Amino acid sequence: MTIKQGNKTHLEFIKDELRVLKDAGLYRKSIVIEDCQGPYVTIDGEKYLSFCSNDYLGLAGHPKVKEAAREAIARYGWGAGASRLVSGTNMLHERLETEIARFKSTEAALVFPTGYMANLGAVCALMGKGDLILCDRLNHASIIDASRQSGAAIRVYAHNDVTALDRVLRRVSNNYEKMLIVTDGVFSVDGDIAPIPEIVSTAKRFGPQVMTMVDDAHGTGVFGQGGRGLLEHFGLKDGIDIQMGTLSKAMGGIGGFVAGTRELVDYLKNKSRPFIFTTAIPPAACAAGLEALKLIGGEEGAKRRERLWQNCRYLEKGLSAIGFDMTVQSPIIPVVLGEPQRALDASKTLFAKKLLVPAIRPPTVPQGTSRLRISLASEHQIEHLDLLLEGLKIVK
């Protein structure tokens, strides 16, 4: 029951805020997909060419991934039943963690229900009052929220600016016994890549009290010869203390993970509240993740990655030809248009042409940088990219 004050209720601010969002072009609503993720999706019975999924390798609908999930449901049922430390740990959870650790070349790994919870669980368990977190200005919301909730002091450094990071550390490092540099690997709406080797070198100059963490959610499966992510891409065998990733991007499923030393994982099992107090992900999600890892690390995964990068190179040339001059560093390609309404109108224009390309607006991106966010996949064909480029000519 709401309590009235005069002619308004305590919940009247909700209506007011929704009105403000709509007037500013920032109101959001879901598009309902009626079939499996893929190059084409069905909306209200109509087929649309989709450029907004993070299913970079097309594994969400892969027959082997679906079959693995079906077999696991038949054997284990759907839900895990409890949190991991009560009775929710299934043998598939442990198998998946073993395979993630092998894949990421770490001693151990820990699976969380989502990538958001993996970041929250790791940062809040490791850092607290009296500690310092150094955070890239464009880090994902889950890292920002985790940093704030940890209670640690936060210093934000300019995006991908290692000189600025070094400057902050020189100024404040003597004030803290424990520090954490945390960055996205691939930035989720800009699509550019963090200078991880330089970050590692900077951290090492300030001693062992500086830990490093990389959110490799959008790099896992996509970068590196074996799809192991940005550390493989850069040839880094050590220097990153905490690797975070997800099962929900190139692996085509749901869940997040943290990989590192055995001691780190044991610590998180005992200290990470999102892990301790949340029901485990379904065993079938683990089975799907295990199959996705096999595919990513095998010949088929290599072929899909090559097709994905061919698509990236093709679209980069096409965008340049129509006046969007940019360097494509990942399958995430931002077309910055400026004000929210312009991005929203562009997205609607493309939608009318059966092209699904989302408008990304504040607070997801800074004011004045609203954009179309294009996500490419290995399963896009050249003719799909040509249709997209034709649509983008209109909204230029």
Residues 75/302, Cβ–Cβ less than 8 Å: no
Please confirm, yes or no, whether 10 is among the known catalytic residues.
Answer: no
Chain Cα centroid distance, residue 388: 24
Listed in order, strand segments (DSSP E) in 158-231 are 179-184, 210-215
Please confirm, yes or no, whether 218 is among the known catalytic residues.
Answer: yes
Residues 183/215, Cβ–Cβ less than 8 Å: yes
Please confirm, yes or no, whether 129 is among the known catalytic residues.
Answer: no
CA distances from 187 to 115, 131, 267 (A): 14, 25, 28
Q: Are strands 108-112 and 256-260 parallel, antiparallel or unpaired?
A: antiparallel
Please identify which of the residues 62, 93, 104, 218 carries the catalytic annotation.
Answer: 218
Please identify which of the residues 140, 249, 380, 384 carries the catalytic annotation.
Answer: 249
Please identify which of the residues 53, 150, 188, 248 carries the catalytic annotation.
Answer: 188
Nearest one of 94, 127, 121, 123 to 109, comparing CA atoms:
94
Q: Can you give 48-96 as a three-state secondary structure string?
A: EEECCCCCCCCCCCCHHHHHHHHHHHHHHCCCCCCEHHHHHCCHHHHHH
DSSP 3-state of 309 = helix
Which residues are known to be catalytic?
188, 218, 249
